[in-house]
Amino acid sequence: MSDTLTEAPQAPEAPTQNAGVVHGLYREGEPIADTKAPKVDIKDRWTTRQFEAALVNPANRRKLTVIVVGTGLAGGAACATLGEAGYHVKSFCYQDSPRRAHSIAAQGGINAAKNYKEDGDSVYRLFYDTVKGGDFRSRESNVYRLAEVSANIIDQCVAQGVPFAREYGGLLDNRSFGGVQVSRTFYARGQTGQQLLIGAYQALERQIAAGTVQMYTRHEMLELVLVDGRARGIIARDLVTGEVETHLADAVVLASGGYGNVFFLSTNAMNSNVTATWRAHRKGAMFSNPCYTQIHPTCIPVSGDHQSKLTLMSESLRNDGRIWVPKRREDCEKDPRDIPEEDRDYYLERIYPSFGNLVPRDIASRQAKNVCDEGRGVGPKVGDFARGVYLDFSDALARMSTEAVAEKYGNLFDMYQRITGESPYEVPMRIYPAVHYTMGGLWVDYDLQSNIPGLFVAGEANFSDHGANRLGASALMQGLADGYFVLPNTIRDYLAHGPYPKVEETHDEVVAARTAVEERVQKLLSVNGERSVDSFHKELGHIMWEYCGMERSEEGLLKAIDLIRSLKDEFWRNVRVLGSGATLNQSLEKAGRVADFLELGELMCIDALHRRESCGGHFRTESQTEDGEALRDDQEFAYVAAWEWGGEDGIPTLHKEDLVFDYVHLKQRSYK
């Protein structure tokens, strides 16, 4: 396979078949566009669409079944709301309870354009900040709607009993977050994700009790069922009994989260995976902007090979902590307290004097990598380099007193100490960037429908709202906006255009999907090789982080594609999955997910390779300004890259959706 990589560009054979083939890796197809957003002023688009969407008579709703995969903010909220509307909902999650979806781990807060602080916030400003923050790679219509429904989300959650922070007068408190200049973030201490998710979970459990939602916990979707080109169900495996089950419906919603675990080490939950969306991609759903990964600058660094996961420290620490590394390499192993002021390099304050330690996530992350690459990183070595920089609170402790620092950051300091065994009150913290969120996902139109009729995608699983970079406190907003307010309105239009012919479990396409799953499970169990699933996953993670992480180059990406192909080949020859398919078998679960990550990893590298510009957290070495800053290329790349699966032995096809900016003018970001 690796041969085609080097040979194909020089010697294209059979030009008719290879027309438009680039690098031997992909071809370009027809452009695509969203046709669902009404062509009216942006302020009126959502109201118009809601009115134009057809209605389903309440008596008919109970005859219609909707499958929802995933129970995080988007999936849980969608299940609850569709259940309340009277549809028959089947809800699936791989965890033992819907309450454990990874949305629960979000710390910071949720944005909403309430303007409760009277500080000049508005729907338009939230829309503007989100488009600009995403480096102009998201779709205006979708982002405007997100800002528009944000205010309703807060009302809904408060009515459910979500205990947001309040002021002494009893009204809700807000804070500013992630460098935004208005206070529009609602929060519940450092557990906003948990509190919002529990709200959605309780609403979902209420519908389970009411009988509108049927819950399938410890179930994993392993295939999408298409009948006559429409999404009509899923094949799922009961993770306890191992039974492969067929579930049919009138429409399918994927709300299965992001795919950051392709990097093995990330802030994602251990079992977060790409399988649901990847299986849909292989059935024809386009995968958009897969290379857009958000790297978060303030995570606890890796301490050794045993490491299974990375823990995020709230970004708020950058408000008072100062980031530095030693000026000289030979000082890196010294106790930081013995390094005098003049031998420290406060590199963010030096390079970006006006923003200092508060530069955006992508910039803070890249500069940390640069100083570590120079050999000036601190802490334990991972490979040849120490991967850590100091986040030092000694100035803050002197200025504010220990009590004041503890009041503000005490719980974070305790968490850090528990994980590292060091007290940030005494020794500077060490931090390093880590993979946090993926902005790419399945392509959807304004209705959140993929290019497969009847297949809807919500939350982090779709690509639509964050462009190349996500603002802090916007992930929770998008999950709940999609689940509570958008999907229930758009899916009814699809359902109202039915009824779609009834499908039997014995239908050829259903049987074929199920057989494919059973065969795949058997195949994984029968390889009987030498290497554990985790060892493959870790190796893939290294490749992805090294070549498709914070900094990417053509040379590196071509190498990564080569390495991933060899690894995939070895996986199917040499993976060892013990036990049977008829019981709880966690190695088998992981094996299926890693097999999909291997295919996704290759597509991420192809996407990163073709996008020869730097935008968001995606820095291409070939596209930078004279002083080394990210350089976007709007002439060439102001589009969404939507990839079509090319078949088992084929190459993917790139479809471009041009991004049109009628309201927010394209501008280069600068933080100097």
Partner 1 sequence: MRITLQVWRQDGPQDGGGMRDYVLDDVSEDMSFLEMLDVLNEDLIGRGEEPVAFDSDCREGICGSCGLVINGRAHGPEVTTTCQLHMRSFHDGDVISVEPWRADAFPVIKDLVVDRSAFDRIIQAGGYVSVNTGAAPDAHATPVPKDDADKSFASATCIGCGACVAACPNASGMLFMGAKVTHLGLLPQGQPERDARVVKMVNQHDHEGFGGCTNIGECAAACPKEIPLDVISRLNKDLRTAMRHGH
Please give the positions annotated as active site.
361
Asked if 621 and 550 count as a contact pair (C-beta separation under 8 A), the reply is no
Site string for partner 1, 482-511 (x = CB under 8 A): --xx--x-----------------------
Cα 284 to Cα 29, 180, 653: the distances in Å are: 14, 39, 11
362-391 CB burial, b ≥16 within 10 A, e <16? bbbbbbbbebbeeebbbbeebeeebbbbbb
C-alpha–C-alpha distance, residues 277 and 604, integer Å? 14
**Least distance in angstroms from the C-beta of 168 to partner 1:** 5
Helix (H) or strand (E) holding 405: helix 402-420
96 is an interface residue for partner 1 by CB under 8 A: yes
Sign of CA dihedral 81, 82, 88, 94: negative
Alpha helices in 327-379 (DSSP H): 347-351, 361-373
**Least distance in angstroms from the C-beta of 669 to partner 1:** 31
Residue from 90, 102, 507, 618 binding partner 1 (CB under 8 A): 102
Q: What are the backbone dihedrals phi and psi of residue 283, each rounded to the nearest 5 degrees, phi first?
A: -90, 5
Select 419 or 660, whichever has its Cβ closest to partner 1. Answer: 419
Q: How many angstroms separate the first and last alpha carbons of the chain?
A: 45
Select 153 or 351, whichever has its Cβ closest to partner 1. Answer: 153
Select 106 or 249, whichever has its Cβ closest to partner 1. Answer: 106
Select 160 or 176, whichever has its Cβ closest to partner 1. Answer: 160
411 is an interface residue for partner 1 by CB under 8 A: no
Which window, 263-271, 423-431, 460-468, 511-519, contacts partner 1 (CB under 8 A)?
263-271
| Near partner 1 in 180-199, by CB under 8 A | 188-189, 191, 193-195, 198
47 is an interface residue for partner 1 by CB under 8 A: no
Q: How buried is 538 (Cβ within 10 angstroms: 0-12 exposed, 13-18 middle, 19+ buried)?
A: middle
105 is an interface residue for partner 1 by CB under 8 A: yes
Asked if 265 and 307 count as a contact pair (C-beta separation under 8 A), the reply is yes
314-330 CB burial, b ≥16 within 10 A, e <16? bbbbbebbbbbbbeeee
Which window, 93-101, 316-324, 345-353, 386-394, contacts partner 1 (CB under 8 A)?
93-101
Residue from 208, 511, 527, 567 binding partner 1 (CB under 8 A): 208
**Least distance in angstroms from the C-beta of 470 to partner 1:** 19
574 is an interface residue for partner 1 by CB under 8 A: no
Identify residue 203 by its one-letter amino acid code. Answer: A
535 is an interface residue for partner 1 by CB under 8 A: yes
Beta bridge partner(s), residue 430: 390
Which window, 91-99, 137-145, 347-355, 611-619, contacts partner 1 (CB under 8 A)?
91-99
DSSP3 helix / strand / coil % (the chain, rounded to 5): 40, 15, 40
512 is an interface residue for partner 1 by CB under 8 A: no
User: Which residues lie closer than 8 Å to 515 by C-beta, 6 or more apart?
Assistant: none
Select 255 or 468, whichever has its Cβ closest to partner 1. Answer: 255
Tokens of 647: 């078949």
| Near partner 1 in 150-169, by CB under 8 A | 152, 154-161, 163-169
| Near partner 1 in 213-242, by CB under 8 A | 215, 217, 240
Asked if 564 and 600 count as a contact pair (C-beta separation under 8 A), the reply is no
Closest CA to 211 of 316, 334, 62: 62
| Near partner 1 in 455-484, by CB under 8 A | 484
584 is an interface residue for partner 1 by CB under 8 A: yes
Select 93 or 642, whichever has its Cβ closest to partner 1. Answer: 93
C-alpha–C-alpha distance, residues 416 and 413, integer Å? 5
Q: Which residue has the tokens 């080097």?
A: 6
Tokens of 622: 């070939």
Select 312 or 364, whichever has its Cβ closest to partner 1. Answer: 312
User: Which residues lie closer than 8 Å to 261 by C-beta, 6 or more apart?
Assistant: 268, 270, 272, 273, 274, 593, 597
205 is an interface residue for partner 1 by CB under 8 A: yes
| Near partner 1 in 302-331, by CB under 8 A | 303-304, 306-309, 311-312
431 is an interface residue for partner 1 by CB under 8 A: no
583 is an interface residue for partner 1 by CB under 8 A: yes
Select 104 or 630, whichever has its Cβ closest to partner 1. Answer: 104
Which window, 12-20, 127-135, 529-537, 605-613, contacts partner 1 (CB under 8 A)?
529-537
Q: Name the 3-class secondary structure at 166.
A: strand
CB neighbours of residue 355 within 10 Å? 17
Residue from 4, 6, 18, 97 binding partner 1 (CB under 8 A): 97
**Least distance in angstroms from the C-beta of 240 to partner 1:** 6
Q: How many residues bind partner 1 (CB under 8 A)?
A: 81
Select 190 or 453, whichever has its Cβ closest to partner 1. Answer: 190
Residue from 120, 421, 502, 627 binding partner 1 (CB under 8 A): 421
